[in-house]
C-alpha cells in the first residue's frame, strides 16, 4: 500500500533540514521505491515525486555548503552562510587602468616615434630622388 495513502511513514520523520545525510539517503531510497511502486500499480505518484524532489534539493544544498566549506548547523535553521563577494571583470579592469601620466607618456613617445619614422622615410625618398635625378641627366 502507498505511503502517501498510509501515513505510517509520515509522522515519525524529522524535517529534512534536521536529518543527517544517512537519513536523507534512506528517505531518498524510500521515496524512489514509493514512486516505482505507485507507477507499477498505476497510482498517481505526484506527492511521492514532490517529496523525492525536496529530499534531493536538501542534499544538493548540503553538498554545495560542503564545497564552499561553509559550516551548517543541523538543529538551528536561523544560521545562514556568509555571502562571497566576487569582483566582476569590469570592476577588475577598472582597477588595472594605468594612470593618466603613463598614458600621456606613451602617447608622446608614440608621436615622437612616428615623426622619426616619417623623417627617415623622407630622407630615404630624397636619396632615391637624387640618385635617379643624376642618372636621368
Question: 9-18 pLDDT, tens per residue?
Answer: 554 667 888 8
Task: Evaluate whether 4 touches 47 at the Cβ level (below 8 Å).
Answer: yes
Plot region of 59 (φ>0 → left; ψ -120 to 50 → alpha; else → beta): alpha
What pLDDT is recorded for position 102?
A: 86
Average pLDDT on 110-135 reads 92
What pLDDT is recorded for position 112?
A: 97
What pLDDT is recorded for position 7?
A: 46
User: What distance in Å separates the CA atoms of residue 50 and residue 90, rounded to the nearest whole number?
Assistant: 41
Looking at the predicted structure, is the pLDDT value of residue 126 above 50?
A: yes
- Provide the 3-class DSSP secondary structure of residue 13: coil
Mean pLDDT, the chain, as a whole number? 79
User: What distance in Å separates the CA atoms of residue 134 and residue 31, rounded to the nearest whole number?
Assistant: 101
What pLDDT is recorded for position 24?
A: 86
Task: Evaluate whether 68 touches 86 at the Cβ level (below 8 Å).
Answer: no
What pLDDT is recorded for position 9?
A: 53
Nearest to 48 by CA among 65, 57, 36: 36
What pLDDT is recorded for position 133?
A: 81
User: What distance in Å separates the CA atoms of residue 42 and residue 122, rounded to the nearest whole number?
Assistant: 92
What are the CA-CA distances from residue 19 to residues 24, 40, 47 (Å)? 6, 29, 20
Amino acid at each position: 500500500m502507498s505511503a502517501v495513502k498510509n501515513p505510517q511513514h509520515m509522522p515519525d520523520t524529522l524535517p529534512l533540514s534536521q536529518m543527517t545525510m544517512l537519513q536523507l539517503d534512506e528517505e531518498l531510497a524510500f521515496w524512489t521505491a514509493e514512486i516505482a511502486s505507485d507507477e507499477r500499480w498505476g497510482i498517481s505518484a505526484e506527492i511521492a515525486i514532490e517529496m523525492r524532489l525536496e529530499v534531493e534539493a536538501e542534499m544538493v544544498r548540503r553538498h554545495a555548503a560542503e564545497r564552499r566549506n561553509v559550516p551548517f548547523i543541523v538543529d538551528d535553521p536561523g544560521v545562514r552562510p556568509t555571502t562571497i563577494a566576487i569582483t566582476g571583470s569590469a570592476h577588475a579592469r577598472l582597477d588595472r587602468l594605468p594612470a593618466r601620466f603613463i598614458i600621456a607618456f606613451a602617447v608622446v613617445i608614440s608621436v615622437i616615434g612616428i615623426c622619426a619614422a616619417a623623417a627617415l622615410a623622407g630622407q630615404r625618398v630624397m636619396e632615391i630622388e637624387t640618385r635617379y635625378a643624376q642618372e636621368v641627366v
